[in-house]
């Protein structure tokens, strides 16, 4: 059996080689390597795609999150609410801004922050909520917005896994004060290196993000703020621009693949549930299985690559031990994270390969049942 990789960036490149090679060559010919027209072109195309007034290109999703917070003047003494079952960068960005991360548990169905549990986390220091559209499934933004409005909080979407997903018809990135996207190569819309972008309808947030990403400089040699070097490279912007027209068809392929998994996986797997008000971007296809560790091992022996997103919730990571959390503090996150397994998921994944993955999981269950007798 041919190995089934977790994702296949080579296959994607082969399918759009002409577009990519041309954009790379154009950048080299024009010798603008940092910001410049390729970045401006991506910013307008991505803002148009999301339906927002502004987009600001930066050099990672982490930088995008950090700048959103900084542009909203969130820092020392402030608290920001986020779920504990996300990539560490969501929490790091809050610390980089000088603020304190405050975790809030998730809904078991969607793996996203549980709006019913947010209010009890709000103190007089709370300034913002960062819902994470984890795995490509949008968080329940209407419920979150109601809470934010009542308490005067800002909302920043962590949309790093959800390019092109929709919440009640609206694109993610356009349902809050500002949003952060990552162009890390394996994301639904990926560069060939580091990259990220901020979307917002808030002119002031866009202006400050633009200033802060390049040393607070505007105009040339005039520095009104202490900023950062968070500039997006022109090559990366040109590559992402070349891929953007394909994003919707790639996401549709991901949803088709999810449907094939759903139809063919055995009942031992809890498959992802999509709330009917959203279009899932399926960055990751995450199941739950009671014997996750053994199943992962078995699939690996059968040349099927899988992942775990993530192994440990952030409140139990050593880096955040200063917050004083202990196991049991966020039971829903902790419970699901013991059973989650990410199966291969990418647009170029073929139906035949999905069926092979499902067959192996069925075989794994059968062997386990035999051992029980």
Ligand X SMILES: *Cc1c(COP(=O)(O)O)cnc(C)c1O
Q: Which residues here bind ligand X, judged by CB under 6 A?
A: 60-62, 86-87, 89-90, 132, 158, 160-161, 182, 184, 196
Per DSSP, 116 falls in state G
Which residues, 6+ apart, have CB-to-CB distance to 210 below 8 Å? 56, 218
Distance of closest approach, residue 98 Cβ to ligand X, in angstroms:
19
Distance of closest approach, residue 160 Cβ to ligand X, in angstroms:
3
Distance of closest approach, residue 315 Cβ to ligand X, in angstroms:
16
What is the spatial distance between Cα 311 and Cα 342, in angstroms, rounded to a whole number? 11
Nearer to ligand X, 97 or 132 (CB): 132
Distance of closest approach, residue 18 Cβ to ligand X, in angstroms:
27
Nearer to ligand X, 20 or 68 (CB): 68
Distance of closest approach, residue 284 Cβ to ligand X, in angstroms:
9
Query: With 0-12 CB in 10 A as exposed, 13-18 as middle and 19+ as buried, what is 143?
Result: middle
Which residues, 6+ apart, have CB-to-CB distance to 18 below 8 Å? none
Query: With 0-12 CB in 10 A as exposed, 13-18 as middle and 19+ as buried, what is 272?
Result: buried
Distance of closest approach, residue 360 Cβ to ligand X, in angstroms:
27
Q: Measuring CA to CA, which residue among 177, 135, 133 is closest to residue 152?
A: 177
If you count them, how many residues does the chain have? 373
Distance of closest approach, residue 184 Cβ to ligand X, in angstroms:
4
Nearer to ligand X, 60 or 274 (CB): 60
What is the spatial distance between Cα 16 and Cα 358, in angstroms, rounded to a whole number? 29
Burial 6-41 (b: 16+ CB within 10 A, else e): bbbeeebeeeeeebbeebeebbeeeebeebbebbee
Distance of closest approach, residue 297 Cβ to ligand X, in angstroms:
25
Nearer to ligand X, 161 or 260 (CB): 161
Find the angle CA(124)-CA(89)-CA(341) to the nearest 5 degrees.
115
Nearer to ligand X, 91 or 353 (CB): 91
Which residues, 6+ apart, have CB-to-CB distance to 31 below 8 Å? none
Distance of closest approach, residue 294 Cβ to ligand X, in angstroms:
27
Per DSSP, 217 falls in state B
What is the spatial distance between Cα 334 and Cα 327, in angstroms, rounded to a whole number? 8
Residue nearest to ligand X (CB): 61
Coil, helix or strand at residue 94: helix
Nearer to ligand X, 283 or 360 (CB): 283
Structural tokens at position 191: 């560069």
Nearer to ligand X, 86 or 356 (CB): 86
What is the spatial distance between Cα 226 and Cα 218, in angstroms, rounded to a whole number? 12
Nearer to ligand X, 182 or 199 (CB): 182
Nearer to ligand X, 49 or 135 (CB): 135
């Amino acid at each position: 059996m041919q190995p089934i990789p977790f994702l296949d960036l080579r296959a994607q490149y082969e399918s759009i080689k002409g577009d990519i090679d041309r954009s790379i060559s154009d950048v080299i010919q024009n010798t603008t390597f940092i910001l410049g027209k390729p970045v401006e072109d991506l910013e307008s195309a991505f803002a148009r795609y999301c339906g927002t007034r502004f987009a600001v290109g930066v050099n990672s999703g982490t930088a995008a999150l950090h700048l959103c917070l900084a542009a909203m003047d969130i820092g020392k003494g402030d608290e920001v609410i986020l779920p504990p079952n996300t990539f560490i960068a969501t929490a790091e960005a809050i610390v980089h801004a000088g603020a304190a991360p405050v975790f809030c548990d998730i809904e078991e169905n969607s793996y996203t922050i549980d709006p019913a549990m947010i209010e009890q986390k709000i103190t007089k220091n709370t300034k913002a909520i960062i819902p994470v559209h984890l795995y490509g499934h949008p968080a329940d933004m209407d419920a979150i917005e109601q809470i934010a409005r009542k308490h005067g909080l800002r909302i920043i979407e962590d949309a790093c896994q959800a390019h092109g997903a929709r919440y009640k018809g609206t694109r993610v990135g356009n349902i809050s004060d500002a949003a952060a996207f990552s162009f890390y190569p394996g994301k639904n819309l990926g560069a060939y290196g580091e990259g990220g972008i901020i979307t917002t309808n808030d002119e002031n947030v866009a202006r400050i993000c633009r200033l802060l990403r390049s040393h607070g400089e505007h105009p040339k040699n005039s520095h009104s703020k202490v900023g950062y070097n968070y500039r997006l490279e022109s090559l990366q912007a040109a590559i992402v621009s070349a891929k953007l027209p394909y994003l919707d068809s790639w996401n549709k392929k991901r949803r088709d693949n999810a449907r094939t998994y759903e139809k063919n996986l055995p009942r031992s797997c809890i498959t992802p549930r999509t709330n009917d008000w959203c279009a899932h971007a399926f960055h990751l296809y995450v199941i739950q299985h009671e014997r996750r560790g053994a199943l992962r091992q078995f699939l690996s022996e059968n040349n099927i690559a899988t992942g775990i997103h993530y192994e440990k919730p952030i409140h139990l990571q050593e880096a955040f031990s200063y917050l004083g959390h202990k196991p049991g503090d966020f039971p829903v996150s902790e419970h699901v994270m013991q059973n989650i397994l990410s199966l291969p998921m990418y647009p170029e994944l073929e139906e035949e390969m999905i069926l092979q993955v499902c067959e192996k999981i069925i075989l794994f269950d059968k062997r386990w049942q035999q051992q029980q007798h």
